[in-house]
Amino acid sequence: MRDTPDLDALARRAARLRRHVLTVAATGPAHVGGAMSAAELMAALFFRWLRLDGVAQPDHFILSKGHTVHILHACLVERGMIDAAELRTCGMPGSRLAGHPTRRAPGVEFATGSLGHGLSVGMGIALAEQLRRRDTRTVVLMGDGELQEGTVWEAALAAPRFGLEHLLAIVDYNRFQACGSVDAIIPLDPLADKWRAFRWNVHEIDGHDLGAILGALETVPAARGPSVIIAHTVKGKGVPSIEGTTAAHYAVLGDADIAQAIAGLGADT
């Protein structure tokens, strides 16, 4: 179904996305952890699955976990919509790039940042597309800590009532939130059971395994109802000094941390 060179190309793309995030991290503190954990997911979405260019009705993408905006900006660089040099201006006065997605940046579909909003918005978009009988896809990427917001579950409860086979939620389950592990603060497990109980089509995968990601994406649209991918990931993946720690969430990286991470990404980035 997929050949190895195909997956290799996406893996190199994910590495380049991580390299762009490190460019931002080199300028100061940044939400590195949740950006790095989503690199393979974003590579698969933006450079394989979402139909964004050359189509009359582009697919939709909402970054509900808006603080991980740097991985979205990285995709905009790889899509040729912003210059890589612009990444260094992120958060500076006058920059189009802020610490959360804003519509000043080309290619950002919806401004987010307050957690728990994206799934409702995505549901509305999917409902509109369904009403117009289009097969346009709508993807909402959420964080795991974000699932502590009640609004996520309002939308999760409501969406299957309306069908919405082309709505896909993805949970970047990297196990850490701002100030500790999700399990220690308000645990989510059994997470897949919760979504199943809400009548979603559930896929639980390794969120760094591109083959598994593409395999899950290929099941959308399911025969009935919206789908969710629970992607088990490593917070800060690709930055050895912070991987899998609370410190990865909003990280201050030194030159050595960044050099080590860049070295690990390979020569092709």
Which one of 1-9, 28-36, 67-75, 118-126 is the stretch in contact with another protein (CB under 8 A)?
118-126
Report the alpha-carbon distance of residue 173 to residue 37 in Å, rounded.
9
Q: Does 148 bind another protein (CB under 8 A)?
A: no
| Residues 157-176, interacting with another protein (CB under 8 A) | 158, 162
Q: Does 114 bind another protein (CB under 8 A)?
A: yes
Helix axes 118-131, 150-158, angle to 10 degrees: 20
The closest alpha carbon to 115, from 148, 92, 91, belongs to 148
The closest alpha carbon to 113, from 91, 128, 131, 85, belongs to 91
Q: Which of 13, 18, 65, 117 binds another protein (CB under 8 A)?
A: 117
Beta carbon nearer to another protein, 158 or 258: 158
Which one of 91-99, 113-121, 171-179, 243-251 is the stretch in contact with another protein (CB under 8 A)?
113-121
Structure tokens at 220: 């959308």
Q: Which of 122, 145, 225, 244 binds another protein (CB under 8 A)?
A: 122
Residues near 260 by Cβ (< 8 Å), separated by ≥ 6?
239, 240, 241
Q: Does 155 bind another protein (CB under 8 A)?
A: yes
Contact criterion met (CB below 8 Å) for 1 and 217? no
Contact criterion met (CB below 8 Å) for 134 and 57? yes
Report the alpha-carbon distance of residue 140 to residue 121 in Å, rounded.
9
Q: How far is the CB of 122 from another protein (least distance, A)?
A: 6
Which one of 2-10, 72-80, 128-136, 242-250 is the stretch in contact with another protein (CB under 8 A)?
128-136
Antiparallel, parallel or unpaired: β 176-177 and 180-181: antiparallel
DSSP annotation of 251:
B
Q: Does 127 bind another protein (CB under 8 A)?
A: yes
Q: How far is the CB of 233 from another protein (least distance, A)?
A: 25
DSSP annotation of 28:
S
Beta carbon nearer to another protein, 103 or 224: 103
| Residues 60-79, interacting with another protein (CB under 8 A) | 60
Residues near 80 by Cβ (< 8 Å), separated by ≥ 6?
none
Q: Which of 40, 129, 165, 243 binds another protein (CB under 8 A)?
A: 129
Q: How far is the CB of 43 from another protein (least distance, A)?
A: 25
The footprint of another protein (CB under 8 A) covers: 60, 103, 109-111, 113-114, 117, 119-129, 131, 150-151, 154-155, 158, 162
